[in-house]
Amino acid sequence: MPELPEVEVTRLSFASSIAGASILAVRVGKPLRWPLQCEPDELLGMKVQQVRRRGKYLLLDLQSESGDLSKGLLLMHLGMSGSLSFTPTTAFGVEIIAAGKHDHFDLVTTQGLLRLNDPRRFGAVVFAPAEQSPTAQKLLGSLGVEPLTNAFDAKTFHQALKKRQTAIKQVLLGGELVVGVGNIYASEALFMAGIRPTTRAANISLPRAAKLHAAIQEVLARAIAKGGSTLQDFSSAKGESGYFQLEAKVYDRAGLPCLDCQTPIKKIVQGQRSTFYCSVCQKT
């Protein structure tokens, strides 16, 4: 599943190219996880102001062609297997490439074609009249703080952990305290902080929470710099794969020696997700 680094890499790969583009046509293929929430033709003539990210959602801010106040936004989610591609306009105009079997949404703009490919169709494209509207808040309202912003504070993070009696790995994956720390990155951050994934969140001291806070930010930032992780078929909107998985210390390394102490990496299942850790480097 594309996580925060992959979604941010995707955003960076097409945001500047589509900014300022006017929507010429919209094609909706097979049903995705949620309906578009508007007729496709209602989007025609709108202009893409910018592309933002909130958690694992991409937000395309829209305004009318005349430059009036914002007319809403498109919320895009890549689901389990989705990816976006952007084909820039050439000297011959917008190249409309024939849609494939798993291409379920096209946004044709004056600056190129944005296409969602999603074999499993757990992704979504949803129109909302405003970010504070019920439609948008149903998807965004329960998300935790962004980990790469100043809003993610170590002391506040620790205070929130003290109220959680579940395993720290599950707390991170839940996304209510901090958003976007997916399975790969939770395993890596916990290893970097020396915390066992089964440790009860409430039992983590302030100094250890501060280490975990720093590790989360470092792991996510490094993953974005590496283009995310390509485990199966993820690629950016430019078709580029990610390479973070090649430098993972514990994720998907069960039975292999720990790169720090040579102890074999262990694998357990938490909440139906694989967890990897070192029993020596992550004692408690």
Burial 47-81 (b: 16+ CB within 10 A, else e): bbbebebbbbbbbbbbbeeeeeeebbbbbbbbbeb
User: Could you say which of 11, 47, 56, 249 is catalytic?
Assistant: 56
User: Could you say which of 54, 222, 238, 273 is catalytic?
Assistant: 273
pTM for the whole structure = 0.90
Is residue 265 very low, low, confident or very high in pLDDT (cuts 50, 70, 90)? very high
Q: Does 273 participate in catalysis according to the annotation?
A: yes
pLDDT digits (tens, 9 = 90+) for 49-69: 999 999 999 999 999 876 555
pLDDT digits (tens, 9 = 90+) for 154-208: 999 999 999 999 999 999 999 999 998 999 999 999 999 999 999 999 999 999 9
Instruction: Compute the average pLDDT of residues 4-23.
Output: 94
User: What's the mean per-residue pLDDT of the chain?
Assistant: 91
Residue 140 sits at φ, ψ, to 5 deg, of: -105, -20
Instruction: Compute the average pLDDT of residues 243-251.
Output: 82
For residue 116, give the nearest of 22, 5, 16, 34 by alpha carbon: 34
Is residue 71 very low, low, confident or very high in pLDDT (cuts 50, 70, 90)? confident
Is residue 234 very low, low, confident or very high in pLDDT (cuts 50, 70, 90)? low
Q: Where are the alpha helices (DSSP H) in 26-167?
A: 134-140, 154-161
Residue 80 has a pLDDT of: 86
Q: Does 88 participate in catalysis according to the annotation?
A: no
Tell me how crowded residue 270 is: count the other CB atoms within 10 A of its CB.
Answer: 16
Tell me how crowded residue 119 is: count the other CB atoms within 10 A of its CB.
Answer: 16
User: Could you say which of 2, 5, 147, 197 is catalytic?
Assistant: 2
Mean pLDDT lowest among 15-29, 88-102, 148-162, 251-265: 88-102
Helix (H) or strand (E) holding 86, with range, is strand 83-88
Instruction: Compute the average pLDDT of residues 237-257.
Output: 81
Q: Does 40 participate in catalysis according to the annotation?
A: no
Is residue 3 very low, low, confident or very high in pLDDT (cuts 50, 70, 90)? confident
Residue 26 has a pLDDT of: 96
User: Does the pLDDT of residue 231 top 60, yes or no?
Assistant: no
Superfamily of domain 4-140: MutM-like, N-terminal (3.20.190.10)
Is residue 119 very low, low, confident or very high in pLDDT (cuts 50, 70, 90)? very high
User: Could you say which of 3, 6, 8, 188 is catalytic?
Assistant: 3
% residues pLDDT > 70 (the chain): 92
Q: How far apart are CA 99 and CA 195, in angstroms?
A: 46
Residue 235 has a pLDDT of: 62
Instruction: Compute the average pLDDT of residues 18-41.
Output: 95
Q: Does 56 participate in catalysis according to the annotation?
A: yes
Q: Of all residues in the chain, what percent are helix, strand and coil, respectively (each to 5)? A: 30, 25, 45
Q: How far apart are CA 269 and CA 271, in angstroms?
A: 7
Q: How far apart are CA 265 and CA 1, in angstroms?
A: 23
Residue 188 has a pLDDT of: 95
Q: How far apart are CA 30 and CA 253, in angstroms?
A: 37
Q: Is 58 helix (H, G, I), strand (E, B) or coil?
A: strand
Domain spanning 154-277: CATH 3.30.70.20: no
Mean pLDDT lowest among 71-80, 194-203, 209-218: 71-80
Listed by start position, the domains of the chain span 4-140, 154-277
User: Does the pLDDT of residue 217 top 60, yes or no?
Assistant: yes
Higher pLDDT, 1 or 59: 59
